[in-house]
Structure 1
């Protein structure tokens, strides 16, 4: 008897009925990419969010987890050490990052229930089983539940092991805490470490070839945003709350660039003028180069080079958005 091909049962592709949340999946992929790439976390996250269709809440969670893990990495690894039966570094990189993501949510994100932090991380681990050629979800589940169950260990003693104590508590490299202690003493070093561990405010540099700072401040406030001029930089604005940068007024028109206030203070020191010839030998993603272009009134030539082609593409995109034609990548 012949059986027509059309009579054969159709095998439907398997679909995970309970996939991990897209925000956590993006945070995981960005963190893994950051371990393998010379590109910064900001570039990788922007690229991932551009490709994804996430609402504002999910975008915010993806950014919070990815940046939070990197910001608190030293503390997270220290807290994981007692609940692991082998050194974290001996686990696959992906499993290390899964544990760090789960631990960050348990230790630092009060708005995420512990049960959700564990279950979502376990889902993510299951989703990686094929790539890892093993299901690590059991270990992830056990470690994170032990982290919830076990009492927090005491911090290392500042009196006895000052450099280690500051490094663990504030997630700064131990060589840096040791250097600051040597230069400034324990109290000032601790203050510096504490400041370094805080979430910085979103700071913008106004493109004053497009709009004045006062006028842009008015635009932001009219949009209901809390915005203040920076204390030192004459071009900066600090936002009082986290926002989606592309949704801000003036983004598409190139009226601002995201840049912290300290970085904004460097280009004016060069005292450039219209018509000058400038070489920026480490230019990407373009913050200081585009600031120089503004100070030169976009008249002259700035040769912007970087060892990373991918980062140079980001610079080119920033130049197009800001409307600068004096830069030559």
Structure 2
């Protein structure tokens, strides 16, 4: 398979099986062992088409007599790939994009559609300077929806939650390339020495001033093949999750419980902050994910992490009372759309069930905190119903807990007004993933 065929196969699997984009693409790249340049093209096409789906369909509708909803999945994805290359990939000649689309239709045995695909793309090439985009003055929400490839319901959701000014900044940020951040394993070396080691391997590593022991990477290649990674000198983790651990501030010798720990990043960071002294119970209900935590802890040499199977919603019994408990609950993921672009195309009704689930997990987690201990609630979403509303309900219904104020690290600020024990991070401020955290102290 060549790059375009792999990208098409990945797009079809995400659409038809509702699979995670990164998992699907990584499996196919490994299966077909594409070269570096071919793998890069497949990735660029796959993520570009996935991120720009609404924009691409809007353009296709202007040059096709057949509505997108009436097309087969294969024909529609081939058209999307062709339009994406014509509009957004300057290094690919328009003629090459058309020819590749026709060839794909033949490979996928939709030969009868090849003429239709050819006609739509060639009509676009002739008239691409005259595409009729939505009027930003007459219909600004539709304009944002098409421009940023974000469904109308989600645009309206962000406006209702955070206002128009922040919403546009969120939409711009969610379209941007996801930065790659790592956490230096300070139990094996200083952040400076690890940065130097990475640079010697031709990986450009730069310190992050606003987050101690964090590094941003470019030209990283396949992380799993990196010598420093294999030797446990770092783990991949976004700045928002690192900040959550820094504010939870676990101390050497303490007992910590991470109730929804997979894939383990926060447990790893907390163990490093504790200088690998104390005990961290890292739980997940999936045996496969527990093994993933165990493997990560072993690679990093973090012996204080004890991974185990536990249902954070239903399992009530646990003998240990912890100094600090982290409840990073399952959520809608609206804060990580730039990493998982398929999230934006879900039906808006998928948001409805999360708050009740999150509240049950938070209440159950509160049982694990000793008197005077700290409870943290966090999500990677931008949805007040899953964030502040859950935190405030918890305080109302748990008189044995009080709000614990958060002292934001130097260089960071709030993007919205919120209680002192809550902090919503936006990707348009300082660049982390969208994230929420709230802190409570057991009296």
Q: In the TM superposition, what whole-angstrom CA distance separates every residue of 1:294-313 from its partner, at most 9, and x where no partner exists? A: 44527524333256x77666
Distance 1:37 1:263, change over 3 A: farther
Deviation track 1:37-96 (CA, whole Å, cap 9, x = no partner) reads: 465222222222233322211121121111112222221121111122222122222322
Aligned match of 2:212: 234
Decide whether the 8 Å contact of 2:141 with 2:152 is kept in 1. yes
Distance 1:159 1:62, change over 3 A: same
TM score, norm. by length of structure 2: 0.60
Secondary structure of the structure 1 residue equivalent to 2:229:
coil
TM alignment of 1:61-210, pairs within 5 A? 61-129=41-109, 135-151=112-128, 152-182=130-160, 186-210=164-188
In structure 2, relative to structure 1, the CA distance for the partners of 1:259 and 1:26 (3 Å cut) is: farther
CA drift of 1:272 comes to 3.4
The 10-residue stretch of structure 1 (291-300 or 100-109) with the greater mean CA deviation from structure 2 = 291-300
Q: What whole-Å deviation, never above 9, does each CA across 1:113-166 have from its counterpart, x for those lacking one?
A: 22222222322222221xx7x653333322222222223423312222111111
How far the C-alpha of 1:185 sits from its partner, in A, is 5.2
- Give the TM-score taking structure 1 as reference length: 0.79
1:187 offset after TM fit, Å?
A: 4.6
Q: 1 CA distance for matches of 2:188 and 2:300?
A: 8
Distance, in Å, in 2 between the alignment partners of 1:61 and 1:310 is 31
Deviations 1:16-50 (A, max 9, x none): xxxxx522222222222223446522222222223
Distance 2:18 2:278 in 1: 32
More strand by share: 2
Higher mean Cα deviation, 192-201 or 286-295?
Answer: 286-295
Deviation at 1:286, TM superposition (A): 3.5
1:280 corresponds, among 256, 259, 272, to 259
Q: Which residue number in structure 1 is paired with residue 368 of structure 2? A: none
Unaligned runs of 5+ in 1: 1-20
Q: How many positions carry a matched residue from both structures? A: 304
- Root-mean-square deviation (CA), in Å? 2.9
Contact 1:24 1:62 in 2 (8 A): yes
Residues 111/52 of structure 1: CA separation in 2 closer, same or farther (3 Å cut): same
1:149-191 CA-partner distances (Å, limit 9, x unpaired): 2234233122221111111111223233234445665454333
Aligned-pair CA distance for 1:292: 3.7
Deviates more, 1:72-81 or 1:138-147: 138-147
1:163–1:181 CA contact under 8 A, matched in 2: no
Match of 2:24 in 1: 44
Residues 241 and 266, structure 2, Cα contact 8 Å, conserved in 1: yes
Task: Work out the CA distance in 1 between the residues paired with 2:281 and 2:64.
Answer: 52
Higher helix proportion: 1
Q: State the secondary structure of the residue aligned to 1:265.
A: helix
Q: Is the 8 A contact 2:290 2:308 kept in 1?
A: no
1:295–1:97 distance in 2 versus 1, CA, 3 Å: farther
What residue in structure 2 maps to residue 212 of structure 1? 190
> 3-state DSSP class of the match of 1:122?
helix
**Number of the residue aligned with 2:282:** 303
Conserved in 1, the CA contact under 8 Å of 2:264 and 2:282?
no
Partners of 1:136 and 1:288 in 2: CA distance: 49
Cα separation, partners in 2 of 1:235 and 1:82, compared to 1, 3 Å: same
